[in-house]
Each structure stands twice: as structure tokens, then as C-alpha cells.
Copies of this chain bind each other. A is one copy, B any other.
Amino acid sequence: MTTGVWLVGGRGSVAVTSLIGALAMRAGLAGPTGCVTELPEFAGAALPALTDLVFGGHDVASVPLVKKAESLADAGIVPASLVRALDEELALAEHELRPVPSEGGQAEAAAQMAADLTAFRERHGLRRVVVVNVATTEPVVTPNPAHADLDALEAELSGGGAVLPPSSLAAYAAFQAGCSFVDFTPSTGARLPALDQLALQRAVPYAGHDGKTGETLVKSVLAPMFAMRNLRVRTWSGTNLLGGGDGANLAEPGPNAAKTASKQKVLQETLGYLPQGTTRIDYLEDLGDFKTAWDLVMFEGFLGRSMRMEFTWHGCDSALAAPLVLDLARLTSAAHEAGYSGALTELAFFFKDPLGAVPHGLADQWRMLCDFADGLRDAPGNAGEPK
């Protein structure tokens, strides 16, 4: 079951790390560490094999894939030996990348992107294509009445309006082309009522949003711990220092607000109240793709006794995100195959700000994900072999 993975932001760090990893695993040069869907719980769940994924993508940038891969190796994100060994495969993958259409209005751009997707599917004889947004985080979007209703949106677009942020335009094009969609960033993407209507109309599923890769992942197990022990968290204060393109962008007030709001939800949802404290994001160019987060948690125990814990997280963002991109592509594609459409709330495990009224504690999300995999395994069409 060869499956297409179309990466919006296909020349970015996360995309290229995903691509290198998939190519390396296909060549037997690397193991699946970090890939959730390679755990025993997902065996037989009718997922496309990691080695059956074919990659393409859009990007506004034009840095060659091989160059980008080398810069990832220089930065210590991927092994230099892998990049050298995959030289040819990367050069081939280059042919599947397309520029983001920049001429004409949003309607024309969407049509062009949908055409790119259709051509990709036909060129490779793919059964399914899943579009994954890993482009740079956008500022919080300005509300517009056309977001609330598909007819209004279509009218607006056909009238030459430019009412969608780029991530939502990508989702619109994906749905028009019959592709499923994954929002890996905090950008708006498919999260507009008009786009939800379109997904349901085209019977395609979408997942999101904002991949949970570091500080929030830790919060999603620590906050339930405090809740299960009936300990009252009074303060939870986090500082995130990050570099790289994403860091520079997130230091801008707009995207920063989007991201920090997304990062606080887990506390309200798992504790049932919001402790004091904020989540800061600071840009430090020198950190590159690495991120250091420090969190201070002050809590109250028996008879009011105050206690505290702190943690520091030193992660490599692209290395944490890339295997999840592969997981989400496999799961969303399988869901599409199994007939799911609209919001895939079952994939909350992967996201900081998951779709739907779902639990935010990691253990509950894990159970939900395993149940979802069980459902795929038991689906009528799953004969344990390519359909």
C-alpha cells in the first residue's frame, strides 16, 4: 500500500529530518527509535509500512535538499554519515518538491496546489496522499466571517478574496484534492468550520494540532500525577529557550501568543484549574535547533505544606518531531482508508492542542490511541496485507 506524504514546508528542518529518517530506515541504515507506530501495540493495525512512504512537498524556500541535509548534519541533528549515504535518494526526492504558488489569488493558488497533489498521486500510483503541515508557525489569524461557513468561503475565494492564512489554504487544497491533512504546527490549518465542512463533504480525515515534542509532553504526564495524588499545583512557570528558524519566528509577539496559549491548555484540562505562572518562549540564536525548557512547579500537599519540583528538558526539536510526522502520516492515511472523515480526535496523543473535547493527560491519550489502532486492526477491510 504505497502512500504519499506531502510536506508543506518540505525544505524545513522537520521535513528533511523526516525524509532522511524514512530513507535511512528503507535502506536499513537506521532503526525506528522515536517512531510510536513501530511499538508492538500497532502491529497489524493496517498502517502503511514506513518503507512504503513516498515523499513530496511545497515550500516557499528553494534551498536544495542535499544542502539542507548537510546543514542538519553540521548542526548535529542527523548523522553526517547518513547524509552522505543517502546522497542519491535525496537528489531524487528533490524532484518531488514544488514551489508554493505565488501568482494570482488564493483560489488560483489552491487550484495549483491541488493539481500538484493530484499529479503526485498519479505519478506514483498512490492509493492515498496525506498532507502534513510542518511550515513555520503563523501569527494568530484575524477572524473572518468566511471562516465559519463553506459556502461563504467559496464565494469569497471565487470573488478574489484572500481570507485564509497559508496553512488553511494548504488544508483547503488538500481536501479539494481528496487528501487527508495533518496540522503539525500551531497555525490555523484545518481548524475552521468551513474547512471542517469541506473535509466531511470530501470524506477525508484531518488531525492536529501542534506536535507535542518537549515541555508540553512532560507536562502531560506530570500534571496528571499531581491530580491523581490530590496535590494542589499552585504555580507552574515555564521558560523555553530555542533557536533556529522556529525560534526566531516564535519570538514575534503574534506566533508567540499562539504557541504559549497552546502550551497552557494541558494544565487547565488535567488539573481542572489553572495554576499561577506563564510559559515563556525566548529566542536564542545560538541554540539552533535545540531547545532548553525549565519548569518550576510549586505545589501544596497535606495540611498546606508547600513543596516544589523543577525540570529541565534539553531536546533537539526536529529529531523529536520527525518520527511523529511519520507516525501521523501512517495513522491518518490508515484512518482515511478505514473510512474516517473530519476531525481525527483519536490522535490527541501527538498534539499540544488536540482537536475535540479529549483528555490532555498522556496516559488517557495513549489508551485512546491504542483503541484506535485496535479499531483499524479489526476493520473489515484489513486482511493483514495490502488492500
- Say whether A305 faces chain B, with CB atoms less than 8 Å apart: yes
B280:A303 contact, CB within 8 angstroms: no
Q: How many copies does the complex hold?
A: 4
Binds B, one of A48-56, A116-124, A174-182, A281-289: A281-289
B314:A309 contact, CB within 8 angstroms: yes
B241:A296 contact, CB within 8 angstroms: yes
CA distance A292 to B312 in the complex (A): 14
Which single residue of chain B is at the shortest CB-CB distance from A239? B239
- Say whether A375 faces chain B, with CB atoms less than 8 Å apart: no
A-B contact list, 13 entries, CB within 8 Å: A33-B304, A35-B302, A39-B228, A77-B305, A228-B362, A237-B282, A276-B285, A286-B298, A301-B319, A301-B320, A302-B323, A310-B312, A363-B364
A235:B305 contact, CB within 8 angstroms: no
- Residue in B32, B276, B303, B364 whose CB lies within 8 Å of A284: B276
What sequence of 0s and 1s flags, for each residue 307-337 of chain A, a beta carbon within 8 Å of any chain B beta carbon? Answer: 1111111111001101100000000000000
- Say whether A221 faces chain B, with CB atoms less than 8 Å apart: yes
B309:A316 contact, CB within 8 angstroms: no
> Which among A241, A303, A310, A362 has the greatest number of chain B C-beta atoms within 10 A?
A303
A sample of 11 more A-B contacts (CB under 8 A), given A79-B303, A276-B284, A302-B320, is A33-B302, A217-B225, A222-B222, A241-B277, A280-B280, A294-B296, A301-B316, A303-B319, A307-B320, A309-B311, A363-B363
Which single residue of chain B is at the shortest CB-CB distance from A228? B366
Chain A's interface size range is 35 or more
A35:B230 contact, CB within 8 angstroms: yes
Query: A143 to nearest B CB, angstroms?
Result: 28
Given A24-B303, A323-B302, decide whether A225 and B235 contact each other with a Cβ distance below 8 A: no
- Say whether A78 faces chain B, with CB atoms less than 8 Å apart: yes
- Seen from chain A, the residues whose Cβ lies within 8 Å of a Cβ on chain B are 17, 20-21, 24, 30, 32-36, 38-39, 76-80, 82, 217-218, 221-222, 224-225, 228-232, 234-235, 237, 239, 241, 276-278, 280, 282, 284-287, 292, 294, 296, 298, 300-305, 307-316, 319-320, 322-323, 349, 361-364, 366
A21:B315 contact, CB within 8 angstroms: no
Query: A334 to nearest B CB, angstroms?
Result: 18
Cβ contacts under 8 Å, A286 to chain B: 234-235, 276, 298
> Which among A39, A218, A228 has the greatest number of chain B C-beta atoms within 10 A?
A228
- Residue in B294, B304, B308 whose CB lies within 8 Å of A239: B294
Cβ contacts under 8 Å, A230 to chain B: 32-36, 38-39, 323
Which single residue of chain B is at the shortest CB-CB distance from A37? B230
CA distance A76 to B301 in the complex (A): 13
B362:A225 contact, CB within 8 angstroms: yes
Which single residue of chain B is at the shortest CB-CB distance from A326? B302
Which single residue of chain B is at the shortest CB-CB distance from A222? B221
